[in-house]
């Protein structure tokens, strides 16, 4: 199985900050990587697919980059609605695997 490792596990930031979350795969996943946002008790929401393609309706302050084994999600200008937990997911091969999550909390 491909292991997905996110860092940091928790990130404290303020409204307006630029934040970056990283995700590392245990082997290459090419660009077959997605990012999700999840709020407590809710389903994950797709933000980014194919490492850097923005899902429709997602604000442009979200962006993704990377390929192979190293990826990042950047939020440029953190908004109050962005405080949540973020997960990466690889879809290179079965089983689909997710990172452990990064919680973005208010500083």
Q: Tell me how far apart the alpha carbons of residues 24 and 67 are, in angstroms, rounded to a whole number.
A: 10
Question: In the range 55-94, which residues lie near another protein by CB under 8 A?
Answer: 55, 87, 89, 91-94
Burial 39-51 (b: 16+ CB within 10 A, else e): eeeeebeebbbeb
Options 13-21, 48-56, 59-67, 70-78: segment touching another protein (CB under 8 A): 48-56
Binding flag, residue 31, another protein (CB under 8 A): no
Residues that bind another protein (CB under 8 A): 1, 32, 34, 36, 41-46, 49-50, 55, 87, 89, 91-101
């Amino acid at each position: 199985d491909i292991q997905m490792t996110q860092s940091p596990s928790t990130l404290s930031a303020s409204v307006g900050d630029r934040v970056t979350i990283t995700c590392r795969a245990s082997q290459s996943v090419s660009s077959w990587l997605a990012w999700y946002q999840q709020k407590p008790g809710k389903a994950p929401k797709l933000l980014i697919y194919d490492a850097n393609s923005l899902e429709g309706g997602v604000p442009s302050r979200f962006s993704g980059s990377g390929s192979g084994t190293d990826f990042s999600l950047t939020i440029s200008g953190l908004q109050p609605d962005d405080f949540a937990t973020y997960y990466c997911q690889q879809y290179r091969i079965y089983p689909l695997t997710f990172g452990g999550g990064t919680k973005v909390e208010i500083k």
